[in-house]
Amino acid sequence: MITSTPITGALLTIDGTAIPELVSYKVTPAKLWKDADRNMQGDLRATLIGIFTKLELNIGMVNKTRAAAIAAKLNQAYFSVTYFDPSLNANRTAQFYAGDFSWDLQTKHRGLFKPTAVNLIAVSKN
């Protein structure tokens, strides 16, 4: 039987603002390689530049006010993210930028938007 303790506090904050609407959260320690190729024997030759964390987020349904607030955070060039890193079993803070995301209208008369996905990518290596 697996025993566990809960993750306390906000799972993710952007510039100090919690994003409680997260419905899924994936942390990828993405390796960035330089000059990667294989020789005739099939052996890889490459230089590891570093590991750049990618956070894959799915944000649940939000109203128009909350969508605007989240978009204001994500539309900055760079922003500070504090997130739970399972590799460390602790929170980590770093500078990130956001990939493309979109808001898909659920219902006009209630001002609700469907869940959306966005990736946050670390500016610097871990």
**pLDDT per residue as tens, the chain (126 positions):** 888 888 888 999 999 999 999 999 999 999 999 988 888 888 888 899 999 999 999 999 999 999 999 999 999 999 999 999 999 999 999 999 999 999 999 999 999 999 999 999 999 998
Rounded distance, CA 122 to CA 98, Å? 9
pLDDT in the model for residue 4 = 84
Whole-number Å distance between alpha carbons of 124 and 122: 6
pTM, two decimals, is 0.89
- Residue 55's beta-bridge partner residues? 27, 120
Retrieve residue 115's tokens. Answer: 């869940």
Q: Which domains does the chain have, with CATH numbers?
A: 12-122 (2.40.30)
Pairing of strands 79-85, 90-98: antiparallel
The answer to whether 107 touches 96, Cβ cutoff 8 Å, is no
pLDDT at 71: 97
pLDDT score, position 9: 85
